Amino acid sequence: MVRVLSKCRNGRRSVEFFLSGGADDRVMLAGSFNDWDPELSVMTYCPRRGGHAVVLALAPGEYEYKFVRGDEWLADDGNPNFAANDFGTLNSVVKVD
């Protein structure tokens, strides 16, 4: 699930990414905003919500992303916006206004 939150002072927007799952999972976020490097956006487990979350400050634009749990790259089931990628799968898409 992805939610565009508040506007930051520098014109960027706070965007929260969330993936349901257990505390034992290591979950990261990879996308066009971080050169598809999951190590740059490690997600934090939120016990009350039962999943992992990270908030990024993103400039207006359109971004493709995937969650990375272990060796598995996952599209966001909570987001109906997708784009095909070069690997024959789908990336999730978020538009930041």
Summarize the confidence of residues 9-33 as an average pLDDT: 91
Q: What is the CATH number of the domain that holds 49?
A: 2.60.40.10
Where do the H-state alpha helices sit in the chain? none
Inform me whether the pLDDT recorded for 29 exceeds 80. Answer: yes
How far, in Å, CA of 39 to CA of 30, rounded? 8
Give me the chain's average pLDDT, please.
93
Residue found by looking up tokens 């520098």 in the block? 10
pTM, whole model, 2 decimals? 0.92
Residue with tokens 């190590």: 39
Domain that holds residue 39: 2-96
**Rounded distance between C-alpha atoms, residue 54 and residue 17, angstroms:** 5
pLDDT band at 11 (very low <50, low <70, confident <90, very high): confident
Domains in the chain, number: 1
Q: What is the pLDDT of residues 80-92, one digit of tens each?
A: 999 999 999 999 9
CA 85 to the chain's CA centroid: 16
DSSP 8-class letter at 77: T
